[in-house]
A and B are shown apart, each in its own frame.
Chain A
């Protein structure tokens, strides 16, 4: 259907462009002596119109964000300095006491530790595995398209659904995993893998890896497609083996993709909730509690809204600090290139504009 619309219009646009350029030039040169006749008096009206149009286009999105993102976040900060159990007005101002309580809480501190284990563990597991599988899938082989589809399936499933399936697999004694471990001669723990505090977090990490590896593979594959064939061919002509070509050319050129992926993975790990809530509810004995499960627990089960607010703010500060540090320390290399390109484009644009202005 879009075809019908575009085709004749595209044909017509050939005519239109020259007109458009002419009027565009006139509009862009309002101060110039040539433009005063027609564009000058209308300029104010045009400006107002433009502002109104921008407002019409942008307001719905901004209003929604203000209402459902900004307002709640401001409210979280407000909650964090009051002792509030969910009824009456916010009257019991306690200053930073909630923060002190959260930071002094052994459960919260271990939750931050668990978040860090998930952040680091996800990257350490998924980076090498993801690169290896992407390299494998990047080779010309039969069934490649199907393989790529299959590897991405876990990522598309809801975390909750994946968690419920794994919950069945990991059932103590009767589950598939316990049956397999028993068969190869190991004794699975009596409380089940998820029921044993020493194992639970690592099992959660493995399930998360299963769930999110597909995304890493997909992004790495896309990055590899950006590496030009010619480089590979040149390397092969020089007698480099397949492995050498990968280590020396593909993987180094994948750097920016890997760094961006790691950033996304980090941000996801820091707010990890769904999977854990279904698998363990943060247990056993808070062994898998994360900052998100902690604040949901405090907010919905105990109605300690002040504590939940303080925990939210701390979660945000940690996430923000990590994002900032990562941006400054690691991503800067990539974005530097971009900003250079950007400023180059900007200066080219300005150059073109000023030239046009002079011409007019």
Chain B
């Protein structure tokens, strides 16, 4: 399909460019103004809604209804203050944090452990074992969600707990983690491990003492991915968590329906809820980006 759309484009490029050799200069010099203009429009559309939310939190509902497109005038702090003094908000934030931390630790440790023999040992059935993880990528969480809800509630009695959400999330994150980590481990130099083995260290202690520190960059990548995915998750928490056990996304969604008349309050709540993911992303931008790119290439 991509090939089909590309050919006609290639021809128009040929037609317009061939006649204007002078245009090259214009393209690199004067054309910059256009480039910046387009960039500005793209930025406005991209962050506009986010800024609107943040700004809306500083306005009153009357202001919002009067001039939906206006700026805060005067600035109102009560919406944000209201959310920050709401104990439920902090409870949701705690739940989100704990579930994300458990998910991340389990995903990273178990994922690295599984990727290690797949990268380093020679054994029959290695590729078959790897295929199990690759196949795991093919199952959308939505397919398993209703039985998962029943199993966790009735068989495992883990409904409305942090672990009940974190463990299935880790299970669904593991295939991607192993697929990213295996080539990463393969690319690490073997010499250090071999040296440690010769010095009499067992495989397990080599894993903890040599491999873990060496693979820190890979672990951070898959860790940030797991954390952000868990932080943003909605479907599984929606089915499993109630009342004081809810996470921030659930809290935001419920707050917006319960207080649908209080637009400014909803915007303030939403804005505060998006800050942690944004901060994490900015802090680990490189890692996250390279992880996603690696996943596509890998």
Chain A interface residues (CB < 8 Å from chain B)? 1-2, 5-6, 9-10, 12-13, 15-17, 19-20, 23-24, 50-51, 53-54, 56-58, 60-62, 64-65, 67-69, 71-73, 75-76, 79, 86, 127, 133, 136-137, 139, 141, 143, 147, 149-154, 156-169, 171, 174-176, 178-180, 183, 210, 213-215, 218-219, 222, 236, 239-244, 246-248, 251-252, 255, 257-262, 264, 267, 270-271, 273-274, 277-278, 291-292, 295-296, 299-300, 305, 308-309, 312-313, 315-316, 319-320, 323, 330
Contact mask B169-185 → A, CB, 8 Å, 1/0?
A: 01110110010000000
New A-B contacts (10) at CB < 8 Å, excluding given A56-B204, A75-B147: A69-B136, A69-B172, A149-B285, A161-B252, A165-B52, A240-B17, A241-B24, A296-B235, A300-B146, A309-B146
B 168-205 contacts with A by CB, 8 A? 168, 170-172, 174-175, 178, 189-192, 194-195, 197-198, 203-204
**Distance (Å) between the CB of A277 and the closest chain B CB?**
7
Residue pairs across A and B with Cβ atoms less than 8 A apart, 16 shown, are A13-B191, A58-B129, A67-B171, A73-B147, A75-B150, A158-B274, A161-B274, A168-B267, A176-B52, A244-B13, A244-B17, A260-B296, A273-B142, A296-B146, A299-B149, A312-B143
Chain B interface residues (CB < 8 Å from chain A)? 1-3, 5-6, 9-10, 12-14, 16-18, 20-21, 23-24, 27-28, 32, 35-36, 38-39, 42-43, 45-47, 49-50, 52-53, 56, 64-65, 67-69, 106, 109-111, 113-114, 116-118, 121, 123, 129, 132-133, 136, 138-151, 167-168, 170-172, 174-175, 178, 189-192, 194-195, 197-198, 203-204, 207, 210, 213-214, 216, 228, 231-235, 238-239, 248-250, 252-253, 256, 263, 266-267, 270, 273-274, 277-278, 281-282, 285, 289, 292-293, 296-297
The complex places the Cα of A161 from the Cα of B248 at a distance, in Å, of: 9
Q: Which residues of B contact A183 (CB under 8 A)?
A: 69
Q: Which residues of B contact A139 (CB under 8 A)?
A: 35
Q: Which residues of A contact B39 (CB under 8 A)?
A: 136-137, 141, 143, 147
The complex places the Cα of A271 from the Cα of B139 at a distance, in Å, of: 10
Q: Which residues of B contact A168 (CB under 8 A)?
A: 53, 56, 256, 263, 266-267
A159-B234, A161-B274 in contact; A64/B191 too (CB < 8 A)? Answer: no
**Distance (Å) between the CB of A261 and the closest chain B CB?**
7
**Residue with the greatest number of chain A CB neighbours at <10 A, chosen from B56, B148, B277:** B148
Q: Which residues of B contact A236 (CB under 8 A)?
A: 24
User: Which residue of B140, B189, B292 is within 8 Å of A270 (Cβ)?
Assistant: B140
Q: Which residues of B contact A62 (CB under 8 A)?
A: 114, 132
Contact at A19–B167, with CB atoms within 8 Å? no
Q: Give the nearest-CB partner of A323 in chain B.
A: B138
Interface SS majority for chain B: helix
A165-B50, A273-B235 in contact; A156/B277 too (CB < 8 A)? Answer: yes
User: Which residue of A20, A151, A240, A247 is within 8 Å of B195 (Cβ)?
Assistant: A20
Contact at B232–A157, with CB atoms within 8 Å? yes
Contact at B191–A65, with CB atoms within 8 Å? no
Q: Which residues of A contact B116 (CB under 8 A)?
A: 57
Contact at A165–B142, with CB atoms within 8 Å? no
Q: Give the nearest-CB partner of A179 in chain B.
A: B68
A57-B113, A241-B17 in contact; A20/B172 too (CB < 8 A)? Answer: no
The complex places the Cα of A164 from the Cα of B267 at a distance, in Å, of: 8
The complex places the Cα of A23 from the Cα of B197 at a distance, in Å, of: 11
Q: Which residues of A contact B197 (CB under 8 A)?
A: 20
Contact at A179–B69, with CB atoms within 8 Å? yes
Contact at B140–A261, with CB atoms within 8 Å? no
Q: Which residues of A contact B174 (CB under 8 A)?
A: 61, 64-65
Contact at B9–A133, with CB atoms within 8 Å? no
A156-B228, A168-B56 in contact; A57/B150 too (CB < 8 A)? Answer: no
A57-B116, A257-B296 in contact; A247/B24 too (CB < 8 A)? Answer: no
Q: Which residues of B contact A71 (CB under 8 A)?
A: 147, 151
Q: Give the nearest-CB partner of B173 in chain A.
A: A64
Contact at B141–A160, with CB atoms within 8 Å? no
The complex places the Cα of A11 from the Cα of B62 at a distance, in Å, of: 69
The complex places the Cα of A242 from the Cα of B28 at a distance, in Å, of: 8
